[in-house]
Amino acid sequence: MTVVRAPRFGILTGGGDAPGMNAALKAFVYRGLERACSVVGVYDGWEGLIGDELPDTLALERHRVRLWDREAGSNLGCTRTNPIRVLRGEKRVDVSAEILRNIARLGLDALAVVGGRDTLAAVSKLVALGAPIVGIPKSVDLELGLTDYAIGFDSALRTCSDVVAGSRTSAGSRKWVQVVEVVGRRAGHLALWGGLAGGAQMILIPEHPFSLEQVYRQLDARLRPENPRGERTPRYATIVVSEGARPEGMQEVLVDAEPDEYGAARLGGVGALLAERLRADTDVDARAVALGHPLRGGAPTALDRVMAHRLASAALDACVDRAWGMMTAARGTLPHGRVTRVPIADALVAPCCVDVARDYDTQRYFVQRTVS
Q: How far apart are alpha carbons 145 and 149 in whole angstroms?
A: 9
Residue 320 lies in a domain: yes
- Domain count along the chain: 2
For the stretch 30-80, pLDDT in tens is 999 999 999 999 999 999 999 999 999 999 999 999 999 999 999 999 999
Instruction: Quote the pTM value.
Output: 0.94
Q: How far apart are alpha carbons 113 and 122 in whole angstroms?
A: 10
Residue 3 lies in a domain: no
For the stretch 94-116, pLDDT in tens is 999 999 999 999 999 999 999 99
Residue 102 shares a structural domain with residue 146: yes
Reduced to 3 states (helix: H, G, I; strand: E, B; else coil), residue 102 is: helix
Reduced to 3 states (helix: H, G, I; strand: E, B; else coil), residue 223 is: helix
Model confidence at 230, in pLDDT bands (50, 70, 90)?
low
Residue 225 shares a structural domain with residue 194: yes
Expressed in angstroms, the distance from the first to the final Cα of the chain is 64
**Residues near 58 by Cβ (< 8 Å), separated by ≥ 6?**
40, 41, 43, 64, 76
Residue 316 lies in a domain: yes
Given a cut of 90, whether residue 338 has pLDDT beyond it is yes
Q: How much is the average pLDDT of 324-344?
A: 96
Residue 73 shares a structural domain with residue 124: yes
Residue 135 shares a structural domain with residue 24: yes
The DSSP letter of residue 83 is: T
Residue 249 lies in a domain: yes
Reduced to 3 states (helix: H, G, I; strand: E, B; else coil), residue 85 is: coil
Residue 63 shares a structural domain with residue 189: no
Please identify, among 264, 297, 330, the residue that sits at the C-terminal boundary of a domain.
297
Q: State the DSSP H helix or E strand holding residue 308, giving kind and residue range, or none if neither.
A: helix 302-320
CATH code for the domain of 55:
3.40.50.450
Structural domain including 215 reads: 155-297
Note if the bond before 335 is cis, omega within 30 degrees.
yes
CA–centroid distance for 27 within its chain = 20
Given a cut of 70, whether residue 284 has pLDDT beyond it is yes
- Active site members: 141
Residue 360 lies in a domain: no
Model confidence at 2, in pLDDT bands (50, 70, 90)?
low
Q: What is the pLDDT of residue 67?
A: 97
- For 224, phi then psi, to 5°, come to -135, 55
Helices (H), the chain: 21-34, 62-65, 96-105, 117-128, 153-174, 189-198, 212-223, 270-281, 302-320, 344-347, 356-359
Q: How far apart are alpha carbons 125 and 220 in whole angstroms?
A: 51
The residues facing 361 across adjacent strands are 366
Picking from 303, 315, 299, the residue whose alpha carbon sits closest to that of residue 69 is 299
